[in-house]
Every structure is written in C-alpha cells, then in structure tokens.
Structure 1
Amino acid sequence: MLIASLVLLAAAVYYAALCALRPFAPCRKCRGLGQIERFGKPRMCPRCHNGKLRLRIGRRAFNAWLRTRHAGTRSTPTLMKDSR
C-alpha cells in the first residue's frame, strides 16, 4: 500500500512539473501534424485548426484555478492621505 501511494504521488508530481515546464502537448487527433487524411485527401485538423498543439488538462485546470482565485481575492487596500 505504501509503495502504491508513493508511485501515485511521484506520478502526480511528475505531471505537475510537466504541466509547468511544457504546458502544450501535441494534438491528439493529428499527433502534432496539423492535418489529418480524410477520404484520401489531407484536411486541416478539426481539433487544433492546424495549430498542432493543445493545452494540457492539468495546465487548463491550473489556469482555471488561478482565474477563480484572482476573481475571488480582494486587492490590497491603498492608504489614503487625509487632506486636512
């Protein structure tokens, strides 16, 4: 049980580091080529629109968490001088 937990933790740390260092991965449908073959002719990939890359799921979740955190936190108040 301990070994399985450590392996799971190591995999999560590895994926988090991968998402931080390389947030983009090749498109799954075209494998990073930007085109797929359809009816014998090359066509633009409908998933990445010839962009060849996609944002990783972990990075997408992290960006959503950052947006939510930024929207929910207060900005630091500024001190106002009294004009007496």
Structure 2
Amino acid sequence: MDPALFIAIAVIFTTLFITVRYAAECYIRPFRRCRSCHGKGRKPNRIGRGTHECRRCRATGLRLRIGRHLWNHFRALHRDATR
C-alpha cells in the first residue's frame, strides 16, 4: 500500500470518527457548561464582593452545544417544509 494513500485513509477515518463522536455527544448531552461563569450561573462583580447572574446562560450554568443548535435548526426546517 502506498504511504500517501495510507495517510489519506487515516485522515479520513480520524475525521469521520471525531465527527460521529461529536454528534453522539450532542445527542446524549445537548448542554455544556457555560464558559463565561464556568457552570456556576453567577459571576463576581468587578467592584466589591458581590456576584450577579450570568447573562450568557441566564443563571443556569448551561449552554446549548453548537452541534445541537444546528441539529434543532435543521430539524425545524424539515418539519416546517414537510407540513
């Protein structure tokens, strides 16, 4: 087997594996921790010692994954087009 062909096949299978794994992750766990508040739902104030609710996650500590957001969008498009 040609080394270039072997490398090309390895890259294709690796990319396919990563894509399928991310799709499964979006299906099993559609939410991830908010990066802004680190999943706590609250952020410290800049001045003083208090905290305030995180605006990005609306104080839940969770955000919808990008892949799940796209899945929901395309599913809604399909549902609306087939009615």
Alpha-carbon offset, residue 38 of structure 1: 2.5
Secondary structure of the structure 1 residue equivalent to 2:52:
strand
Alpha-carbon offset, residue 70 of structure 1: 0.6
Alpha-carbon offset, residue 61 of structure 1: 0.4
Aligned pairs (5 A) from 1:3-82? 3-39=10-46, 40=48, 41-74=50-83
Alpha-carbon offset, residue 5 of structure 1: 1.3
Q: Tell me which protein shows more helix as a share of its residues.
A: 2
CA distance in 2, matches of 1:73, 1:46: 36
Supply the AA of the counterpart residue of 2:82: T
Rg bigger for which structure? 1
Percent identity among equivalent residues? 38
TM-score by length of 1: 0.81
**Cα root mean square deviation, aligned:** 1.2
Alignment coverage as a number of residue pairs: 74
Give runs of ≥4 in structure 1 deviating > 3 Å. none
- Structure 2 gap segments, 5+ residues each: 1-7
TM-score by length of 2: 0.82
